[in-house]
Amino acid sequence: MAHELTEYRAAKNSMVFLFGSIGTRLLALVTFAILTRYLGEHDFGIFTAAVTYLALFGSLLDGGTENILIRDVARSEVELSSRLGSMLLLKLLFAGLAVTLAFLLLPLAPMGAQGHAITLVMLLLFVLSPKFPTIRSVFEAVFRARLRVWFPFVAEIVSALIFLGGLLILVRMQGTLTGVAWLYALTGLPGLVILISGTLPHVRLRIRWDGSYIRTMLIEAWPLAVAGLLITFTARINVLILTGLRTMEEVGHYGAAYRLVEPLGFLPLAIVVSLFPLMSVYVEKDPRQLRHYFNAGFKIAALLSFGVAALLVILAPLLIVLVYGSEFAAATETLQMLGASVPFWFCNVVFLHLVIAIGQQKRSLRVFGVMLVVTIALNLLAIPRWGAAGAAGATVLTELAACSVWVWICRSWIRGDTGRFVAKLTGLHLVVGLGLWALPPLPLIWTALLYCTTAAAFFFVMRCHRDKDIRTFLRAVRRQKNGEPEHG
């Protein structure tokens, strides 16, 4: 009964996360389509460089504590009020450190005077933005640990709608890039207020410094903190290299392509955001059940990622022109290259959450250390010759290298049938891809439809839909969809 309840709640939580993420991502897509067309290649390049620079320091805001806090709340709510209060004070301390470092090192960033000016305005993001692990994440931890993610989405959607409305007003008034920066920084405030107001009635927050808990947290979290820094630098350093070696227009092209790929990260997160608390519980109660959840998440992530990657590669020319206009047509090749990195990226997300759940965070440092070295070397080699497309190609090879290391580290948790499942998917998409390549050129929409139809047929012929782990998870989804009670 308890097992069915947790599966039901996990599936329900994943559905909420999935559809909530789709809504917020669609809002973000519309907003940035308007923003990109309004700013143009050069100014959007400056905006991208500024946001990227802040993201490097934004990784300090987490300190490796976010997932550990969720895990602790999921396991026990003893002293929850004081723990959340202590974490809130710690987040404010981290925010002060991030603002100070970002301000002091700003003159070294190759963005020019205008880029430096809007970066100073957007330092407010370190406290208000839902994009960085700021004080918002302390309140979100309660909802995520209890498998109730709908309320944080309300806060995020409100912020997104205010940004969209404010942007439309700025466009009509012919506002400047500085005005856009102020709007981008401040629109997170209403969502933060909503999130706090929704948390306080359920949790009596005690704002005090619990030195014992903070020390324990930081000792356990420091590998994740270092890993977070390595991840952020790995993901963002290519934009800074591109800013220093090429033009702002090319930075704008890369930023435009990246904005279409980055939101897709909600797909693997829609899986692990629910499975992670369960894996954290079962690591002690029943390791076999943990292995079941991990393999289910891995298979579903692999299944989604192959389809997403193929559609991005096929539809890239249409997507770029449709969203950003013909001015950004040069970003097509960059989007196709970034799309090819999706399968490795999705699977890496699942691997990371497994390692955190079993308390082996230090192992992640090997992976992210490899990623940082590989990405810096590849970007320095590729960007001078191929520009934005070279930066995207470096991303593909970096994610591939990381996935290879993860497989080796987590090999004891990967069942043989999971390896065979991924091998089937790889063979399926290679066959379909080579078949489409051999055909005469077709309109993009027809190519995408033919790919989807053929891949689906192969999927059923190869009996991938009969997989035990996927069927177990989907049964829980169907129970939620049919409105069956949680006890039953």
Domain ranges of the chain: 2-481
Q: What is the pLDDT of residues 386-418, one digit of tens each?
A: 999 999 999 989 988 888 888 888 877 777 667
- Please give the Cα distance from 45 to 51 (Å, whole number): 10
Q: What is the DSSP letter of 79?
A: T
Backbone angles phi, psi at 111, to 5 degrees: -115, -5
Residues contacting residue 81 through CB under 8 Å, at least 6 positions apart:
203, 204, 205, 206
Cα 485 from chain centre: 32
At 131 the pLDDT is 58
Tokens 């020319």 sit at which residue? Answer: 317
pTM for this entry: 0.77
At 320 the pLDDT is 92
Report whether 348 contacts 402 (CB < 8 A): yes
Angle, helices 188-199/136-145, rounded to nearest 10 degrees: 50
Supply 255's token pair: 């930023």
With H, G, I as helix, E, B as strand and everything else as coil, classify residue 77. Answer: coil
Q: Give me the residues of the chain with pLDDT under 50, please.
A: 1-5, 147, 477, 480-481, 483-488
Residues contacting residue 154 through CB under 8 Å, at least 6 positions apart:
194, 198
Burial status of residue 127 (CB atoms within 10 A of its CB: 0-12, 13-18, 19 or more): buried
HEC readout, 343-401: HHHHHHHHHHHHHHHCCCCHHHHHHHHHHHHHHHHHHHHHHHHHHHHHHHHHHHHHHHH
Establish how many alpha carbons lie within 13 A of residue 344's alpha carbon, considering only the half-sphere containing its beta carbon: 19
At 481 the pLDDT is 46
- Please give the Cα distance from 93 to 72 (Å, whole number): 21
Q: What is the pLDDT of residues 163-196, one digit of tens each?
A: 899 999 999 998 889 899 888 888 878 877 877 7
At 483 the pLDDT is 47
Report whether 363 contacts 409 (CB < 8 A): yes
Supply 298's token pair: 């891995």
At 149 the pLDDT is 61
- Please give the Cα distance from 143 to 70 (Å, whole number): 9
Q: What is the pLDDT of residues 17-72, one digit of tens each?
A: 666 677 778 888 899 899 999 999 899 999 999 988 888 887 777 776 776 776 66
At 274 the pLDDT is 65
Burial status of residue 25 (CB atoms within 10 A of its CB: 0-12, 13-18, 19 or more): middle
Burial per residue of 321-345, b for 16 or more beta-carbon CB atoms within 10 angstroms, e otherwise: eebbeebbebbbbbbbbbbbbbbbb
| Angle ∠(179,182,188) on CA atoms, nearest 5 | 140
Report whether 78 contacts 240 (CB < 8 A): no
